[in-house]
Amino acid sequence: MSRAEDVSATAPDGPGRPRLVVIGPPGVGKSTVAREVARRLDLALHDSDTIVEERAGRSIGDIFLEDGEAAFRELEQDAVRAALTTTGSVVALGGGAPMTAAVAEALQGHDVLFLDVGIADAAKRIGLNRSRPLLAVNPRATWVATMEERRPTYERLARWQVDTAGRGVDEVVAEVLAVLGEDGTQPHGEPGGSRPDVPDADRPDAPGDQDGSR
């Protein structure tokens, strides 16, 4: 198994510190970008949604349907805490995870990247309907309202922000590696918040997103 393969089920319980934690809305490409960054840096990948599904033995959609959102958020909180103990890994969080107070608190002091996207690109990438319980009704309007609610939290928690709109996976990953200083330059931004300016995007291909929530 390559280091970049998702090894969420074997996430250790001991203390550690991931190399990068990726947050952002559904459709932004968190899973895709995180996986490629992990592959290029030869690091383990942990996805909070995958941890939840493997521990519960059910899909996130089924958990929402059978147990409700509150039950899912409890499972998600435990999954995030486990992922954040992994040393030198890349961690991808479900879109709603940072909105849980305990998760937001746990993210303090970590190197968090906010991947940003607009509704037009998000709709093209995911169709706003695949196994996403919170987008089941009037998905476009729900996505916009949800993003407006979550954006301040994403921006507050992130050390870096990268816009994925109109950009291919390679271009987005190249910028992520640059802000990390993994392209031979110094890391961008200061711990706790400042983010580099994000260039305009003009490429039609874009990262996909397997984020199941939420």
User: Is 124 labelled as part of a ligand binding site?
Assistant: no
Nearest to 114 by CA among 172, 43, 74, 184: 172
User: Is 167 labelled as part of a ligand binding site?
Assistant: yes
Strand boundaries in the chain, DSSP class E: 20-23, 45-47, 90-92, 112-116, 160-163
User: Is 140 labelled as part of a ligand binding site?
Assistant: no
- Three-state secondary-structure class, residue 6: strand
User: Is 156 labelled as part of a ligand binding site?
Assistant: no
- In this structure, the number of other CB atoms found within 10 A of the CB of residue 162 comes to 26
Question: 46 φ, ψ to 5°?
Answer: -130, 130
Strand partners, 21: 91, 112
Residues sharing a CB contact under 8 Å with residue 197, sequence separation 6 or more, in sequence order: none
- The total number of residues shown for the chain amounts to 214
User: Is 30 labelled as part of a ligand binding site?
Assistant: yes
Q: Which residues are annotated as a binding site for ATP?
A: 27-32, 132, 167
Q: Which residues are annotated as a binding site for substrate?
A: 49, 73, 95, 150
Q: Which residues are annotated as a binding site?
A: 27-32, 49, 73, 95, 132, 150, 167
